[in-house]
Copies of this chain bind each other. A is one copy, B any other.
Amino acid sequence: MTNKAFNVAVIGCGVVGSGVADILIRESEKLSARYSRKVALKSILDIRDLTGTPYEKYAVCDPKSVLNDEEIDAAVVTVGGLDFAYTITKKAILAGKHVVTSNKDLVAEHGRELESLAYDKGVRFLYEASVGGSVPIIRPLRICMGANNISCIMGVVNGTTNYMLTRMEEDGLSFEEALWEAQTRGYAEADPSSDVDGFDPARKIAILSSIAYGQFVDYKKIPTAGIRKITADDIAIAGALGGRVKLIACTRLENGKVAAYVEPQLVMNTSYLCSVSGAYNGILVKGEYTGNTFFYGIGAGKLPTANAICGDIVELLTGAENDAVKPGFIAKEAEITKDTGSSKYYIRLDNIPDGEFTPGIDNIKMVTCGSTTAFITGTLTPSELEETVEKLSAVFPGASAGLVLKVLDASV
């Protein structure tokens, strides 16, 4: 043991925070041996009383006990929400401590300022755990593909909605039934909007875009749609066609501008993203020098997320100190543009009048399931899609497009 000890404080001993504490306690010896310095959990800050828990001996209740403790090298911020998480992160950085977090709201909302502040203070602000749970994605993008030119990232990055869609598929549950089940099992919040309306994946794809393109991407500017309109019939039709409905977060670099979106898509089984089930996440990265690379694993949960946080702590132990995206670099905000690519589409028509109709439109296939009628189109540009929807409305008077999904296959 030649170097000084490396001490960690965990701020917020909830699901993920207690997982980090568990791993640090169990693996302290292994990490200490590997890095020739004592690596240890020193404090746990929580407003709850931790008496009688395995965390009792680490418990502190005053933020100053962490901030003013010069022996603490890194603070793990595992509190949710923005207010306290932001304040304590800023104070920890200003106190000269590295900060590692899984709080994606914090990273998407304040990451730009916090990364810049950390750079100025000569510490790191790391957040591998904010995207993908156990799936290594931020470090592979930053380091392994650090010389590469990334053109597109496309993924299933929200475990809650993917669990719901999988349950709708398996047991024909409605959206409401699947949501109720996800809430009962603790996968979805009482207010599920962040997941089911796509804001959580929008934050994640904004974080990945910023890293991949070296430009700041504001998640609030990303067109975002969730899964509320998806019905069990849509999912059954998708299955009959050899595909599945998935909530896809996507970002592309097009002529220096960023085309990002979150929306449900009909993913065909020729795409790797089709096989991402339940609470798993899968992320496809396209790069100039690498072609397609795919990363897959458990997208959330106590130990998978805690493991990602501990990976950031390991990075700190390696001494890597120069990989903050520089403030001057991150200061450039990306220009957001629309994704104008062509695609096949799934169009569900609602309120189709009684009677027999034939679409009479070229290159379109009608599919039905229960009382649901939908169409699969050939490859269309965005304006051709609009025309097709208009034509369908003319053929079926009174009907309206209830749902339009891009079809994602291996060619994309």
Contacts and interface: CB of A to CB of B under 8 A. Distances in A.
B134 A139 contact: no
Contact of A290 (B24, B27, B307, B315): B307
Interface in A328-379: 329
Contacts of A30: 147, 214
A384 to B, nearest CB: 32
Interface in A253-306: 272, 275, 287-298, 303-304, 306
B297 A290 contact: yes
A35 interface: yes
A283 to B, nearest CB: 11
Given A294-B294, A298-B291, A304-B291, A143 B318 contact: yes
A200 to B, nearest CB: 21
Contacts of A291: 134, 297-298, 304
In the complex, which of the residues A19, A24, A148 has the most CB atoms of chain B within 10 Å of its own CB atom? Answer: A148
Interface residues of A, number: 59
A34 interface: yes
Contacts of A146: 31, 34, 310-311, 314, 317
A310 B139 contact: no
18 contacts: A23-B289, A30-B214, A128-B144, A136-B293, A144-B308, A145-B307, A146-B311, A275-B275, A288-B303, A289-B306, A290-B304, A291-B304, A292-B297, A293-B296, A293-B297, A295-B295, A296-B296, A319-B319
